[in-house]
């Protein structure tokens, strides 16, 4: 069971600087150096992805459906409740472990990685930080054992301007009644519960927003149109319809009026997950391409023997490793409680651009074969495009970085 490898990883505490050796310094400085437990865990996830997910990737992409047989396995392996405390049935691990999972799954299928990413970096994290003891006791056991969650912020009129919400929540005694529509909801089709953001006080602007937990079986709640997408096609992206949906007051996530803060700070963490998706996506395409250039022969030798191909592969590998370092750094900063806002934006910015560049190169090196669905690199290329769009566009990341630099 993967549970054996899901351990909380803490940075070493330096009690006495006089005993802080060069070896200690090297360990702290090597972002890609993993503990034995992390190595075993990454290997276990990679083996699962190769044996169980890889044979299903093409069919799921064409059908635009997640294979239902995969979902119980993701829970059984502990991949859907990585940071959920053990007392609630979760793995009790850390954020960096979630990032490793997302990266490894993306090497095989970014669609499956997206489902796992949203569950861990958005839904579970928001509940862990902002949920009351009652909410956590009620939802964590479900989210660790079989329930999929979704994060419903965007609407038709609120994309990058995320808080121009038309979805309304009005008081009804001790309850709230939600009316409106949500768009671009990842995991919308599979989810059993949703974090829904709605305006409770239009006059208060962004400070008049609250986050509510809405279950799929609530009266008046329904899943609407499912989007037909360019990439990550097996990952569902849907509309949600709320028609006088009654929500109990104890299902408010955080306090009234801080919904904007719940959303922003959760998405700041989620961007590191997107970075991991892009790193894994590019790595998956590069893995296939390395094998191909060793096998494909032209002019009497493999194309990998040509310096022009070698140099392009070297450039791609370097850009990929730079993105990985940015992602790992942001994740480690988050786990140690340090400021990670700008590092997270940098990680998403660089990795999303890198993934498009690397997967495009991989298609070029495959030649005409790369342009067909018979070979896997075209799918990685399509899957990479979403990285510059969701959980904050490229321009939004640049804005965040600029503010961090210039104030």
- Annotate 241-274 with DSSP letters as a single string: EEEEEEEEGGGEES-TT-HHHHHHHHHHHHHHHH
Confidence of residue 164 (pLDDT cuts 50, 70, 90): confident
- Token digits of residue 68: 């239902």
Q: With beta carbons less than 8 A apart as the criterion, state whether 377 and 285 touch.
A: yes
- Is residue 8 packed enough to be buried (19+ CB in 10 Å), middle (13-18) or exposed (0-12)? middle
Check if CATH label 1.20.140.10 holds for domain 261-406.
Answer: yes
Predicted pLDDT of residue 38: 83
- Token digits of residue 407: 């104030």
Residues of the chain with CATH 1.10.540.10: 2-148
Write out pLDDT tens, residues 332-366.
999 999 999 999 999 999 999 999 999 999 999 99
391 is an active site residue:
yes
Write out pLDDT tens, residues 206-255.
999 999 999 999 999 999 999 999 999 999 999 999 999 999 999 999 99
Residues of the chain with CATH 2.40.110.10: 150-258
- Token digits of residue 329: 């750094």
Taking the complete model, does pTM exceed 0.95, yes or no? no
Q: Which is catalytic among the residues 104, 190, 239, 391?
A: 391
Give the right CATH number for 150-258 from 3.10.450.100, 3.40.50.720, 2.40.110.10, 3.30.390.50: 2.40.110.10
Q: With beta carbons less than 8 A apart as the criterion, state whether 384 and 355 touch.
A: yes
Rounded to whole angstroms, the Cα distance separating 172 from 165 reads 20
CATH homologous superfamily for 2-148?
Answer: Acyl-CoA dehydrogenase/oxidase, N-terminal domain (1.10.540.10)
């Amino acid at each position: 069971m993967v549970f054996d490898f899901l351990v909380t990883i803490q940075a070493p505490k330096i009690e006495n600087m006089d005993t802080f050796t060069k070896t200690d310094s090297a360990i702290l400085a090597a972002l890609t150096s993993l503990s034995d437990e992390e190595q075993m865990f990454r290997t276990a996830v990679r083996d699962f992805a190769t044996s169980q997910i890889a044979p299903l990737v093409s069919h799921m992409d064409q059908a635009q459906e997640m294979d239902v047989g995969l979902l119980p396995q993701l829970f059984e392996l502990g991949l859907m409740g990585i940071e959920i405390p053990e007392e609630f049935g979760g793995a009790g691990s850390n954020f960096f472990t979630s990032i490793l999972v997302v990266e490894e799954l993306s090497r095989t299928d970014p669609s499956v990685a997206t489902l796992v990413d949203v569950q861990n970096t958005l839904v579970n994290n928001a509940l862990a930080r902002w949920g009351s003891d009652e909410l956590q006791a009620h939802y964590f056991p479900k989210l660790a054992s079989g329930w999929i969650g979704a994060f419903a912020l965007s609407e038709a009129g609120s994309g990058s301007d995320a808080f121009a919400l038309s979805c309304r929540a009005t008081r009804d005694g001790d309850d709230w009644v939600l009316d409106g529509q949500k768009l671009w909801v990842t995991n919308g089709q599979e989810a059993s519960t949703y974090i829904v953001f709605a305006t409770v006080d239009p006059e208060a602007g962004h400070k008049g927003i609250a986050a509510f937990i809405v279950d799929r079986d609530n009266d008046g709640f329904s899943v609407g149109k499912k989007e037909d997408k360019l990439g990550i096609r097996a990952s569902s992206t849907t509309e949600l319809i709320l028609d006088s949906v009654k929500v109990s007051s104890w299902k408010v996530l955080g306090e009234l009026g801080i919904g904007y803060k719940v959303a922003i700070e959760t998405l700041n963490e989620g961007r590191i997950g997107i970075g991991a998706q892009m790193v894994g996506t590019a790595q998956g395409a590069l893995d296939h391409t390395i094998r191909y250039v060793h096998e494909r022969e032209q002019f009497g030798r493999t194309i990998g023997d040509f310096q022009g191909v070698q140099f392009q592969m070297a450039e791609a590998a370097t850009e990929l490793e730079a993105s990985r370092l940015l992602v790992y750094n942001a994740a480690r900063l988050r786990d140690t409680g340090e400021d990670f806002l700008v590092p997270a934006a940098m990680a998403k910015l660089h990795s999303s651009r890198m993934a498009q560049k690397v997967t495009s190169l991989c298609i070029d090196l495959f030649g005409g074969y790369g342009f067909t669905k018979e070979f896997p690199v075209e799918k990685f290329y399509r899957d990479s495009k979403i990285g510059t769009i969701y959980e904050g566009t490229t321009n939004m990341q640049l804005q965040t970085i600029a503010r961090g630099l210039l104030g």
